[in-house]
Amino acid sequence: MKKMGFTLIELMIGLTIVAAMAGAVVAILDPLALRARVRDARRIQDLETLQTALELRFTDAGTYPASGIPSVNIGCVLGSSGWQRVDDGNTGAGGSCLYQGLVNCPSCTTDTSRYILVMPRDPQKPVGDINTEPTSPCGETTTQRYNYKSNTTGGSYILTAMLERGGNNTGHECSSLSNWASFGSCPIGLTYSAASFCYGLQNPNP
């Protein structure tokens, strides 16, 4: 009598189909969660784009941009080490030091000479809104934004994004970065309560 059963290949095909159907059901039943995951993926990609621009700038200038808003009389000078929001150039005297270092630097006179053409903004923020976001990744875990901080010599930096879904930052928790321990502390009066939401990148070989 011939035995009836499933081969290993048939079982694998069946499991693949079941997994695909389960994913489709989750997307239908929880579309908001799916959209949040997509936006979080975009945020991570934006930070990687900024990181590439920063490394190109470092190759040319030997330093990363200072963090902060330029002085009207002095401009951007390394030495301070404060957090800043990633802005679109409409903050302070022609944009933040990060904006001036990547988009509007003295040698950035054409699109091909700029390290980045447009500063990325959080996918939930309309144009202009990013200039009013918190200046640090500390606290306010429900406010999505991108932040930047360099050390006093311009040799190191931290980039952060606030994700929508806690736990999507596994392996890139802001407080786990070596630069965070050395110069990434929160401003006085603000506590760090974003451990599972804050996604961070830093310069290679810190």
How high is the pLDDT of residue 198? 94
How high is the pLDDT of residue 180? 94
* pTM of the predicted model as reported, rounded to 2 decimal places: 0.80
Angle at 149 between CA 144 and CA 155, to 5 degrees: 145
Nearest to 183 by CA among 205, 154, 162, 163: 154
Contacts of 25 (CB under 8 A, 6+ apart): none
Distance CA 28, CA 39 (A): 17
How high is the pLDDT of residue 167? 85
Render each residue's pLDDT in the chain as its tens digit; 206 residues. Answer: 455 555 767 667 767 776 666 555 554 657 788 899 999 999 999 999 999 999 999 999 999 999 877 766 566 777 766 888 888 776 555 678 898 889 887 777 777 778 998 889 899 887 666 677 888 999 888 889 999 999 999 999 999 999 999 888 999 999 999 999 999 888 877 888 888 999 999 999 87
